[in-house]
Structure 1
Amino acid sequence: MSYRVCFVCTGNICRSPMAESVFRARVREAGLDDLVEVDSAGTGGWHEGDGADPRTVSVLRENGYDGAHIARQFHASWFSRLDLVIALDAGHLKALRRLAPTPEDAAKVRLLRSYDPAAGDDLDVPDPYYGGMEGFEECLEMVEAASEGLLAAVREQVEGRAA
């Protein structure tokens, strides 16, 4: 049975598809792609069916990641099939925990940057949507930095299941 991780931001066109693409690459590099499923969604459905923001796609491709994506909205019913729900900022964290059907489901929701020991007290990945390319590049740097710690945590969970 796969370990399932879902990244969530506001509209699922900037931060969460970026995190999904980066983390999927880390999972593949670690040889865990048969054991870990990675996807993403938004707290809202404004962009459902759309591709990722062109700036997200550009930054991903420039850095060797896959930019293919179709936006969708997160639903409370998904909690039952997910092991970890990764919020990109504190607003998403609160919204997802409110949406969680049970306290156990709420406990599955974590902030991405909580997996980056160098992040300090500011655990939000800022929304780059209303800015320029530098915001998307900064977003990618934050996602990459946190992905290593997240991968270690997921690997521990996957190996614990196998034991």
Structure 2
Amino acid sequence: MIKVLFVCLGNICRSPLAEAIFNAKVKESNLLSSFKSDSAGTSDFHIGELPDERTIFTGKKYNLEMNHRGRQVNRTDFRDFDYIIAMDDNNLRNLNNMKTRYGFPDKEIFLMRDFVPGSEGLSVPDPYYGGDEGFEEIYKILDVALDNFLTKVKETHQLYV
């Protein structure tokens, strides 16, 4: 089973939406038995909380199943997940510091938009302090990035249905 962890700062906006979109794409590809995904935050700001109401609204708009409570990245995540994907540079930097501190210096951490040609190095913007349009924007960004990520993973692991 291929395990994927999506990471943002508080785990209530970008990463739970990425997790929900990814799960829908995996289900659509008839690959549910091949994947396990989760999301987490690098901060402890929203542990135990439901996703932001605007994240939930956006998920419902696109018929996404979202069953998540905020949690913080921990040591076992570096051991257990095959792919850890950060939403932005700050979280990428935090994850790279954590992996060394937790004893996993060789663990590769990915940036979400690096899977989109022409968008390498760009962040998925944090919509928390904005309006509903920011959540629509990150949905569109994540939808494309996750299509590309899933295609890459299917090729890498030779997953054919």
> What's the TM-score, normalizing by structure 2?
0.92
- For 2:6, the equivalent position in structure 1 comes to 7
Q: Secondary structure at the match of 1:156?
A: helix
Unaligned 5+ segments in structure 2 are none
Q: Secondary structure at the match of 1:104?
A: coil
For each residue in 1:103-157, what CA deviation from the matched residue of structure 2 results, as whole angstroms up to 9, or x when unmatched?
321x1x10111111242x5520010000000001001010001011100122123
Residues 87 and 123, structure 2, Cα contact 8 Å, conserved in 1: yes
Alpha-carbon deviation of 1:31? Answer: 1.2
Q: How many residues align?
A: 157
What is the RMSD of the two structures over their aligned residues, measured on CA atoms?
1.5
Find the aligned partners of 2:68 and 2:129 in 1 and give their Cα distance: 20
Residues 9 and 88, structure 1, Cα contact 8 Å, conserved in 2: yes
Unaligned 5+ segments in structure 1 are none
Amino acid in structure 1 at the alignment position of 2:129: Y
For each residue in 1:46-99, what CA deviation from the matched residue of structure 2 results, as whole angstroms up to 9, or x when unmatched?
111110000000011111111332111001222111100000001111110111
- For 1:103, the equivalent position in structure 2 comes to 105
> How do residues 1-163 of structure 1 correspond to structure 2 at under 5 angstroms?
2-100=1-99, 101-105=103-107, 107=108, 109-119=109-119, 121=120, 123-159=122-158
Find the aligned partners of 2:5 and 2:85 in 1 and give their Cα distance: 6
Amino-acid identity (%): 38
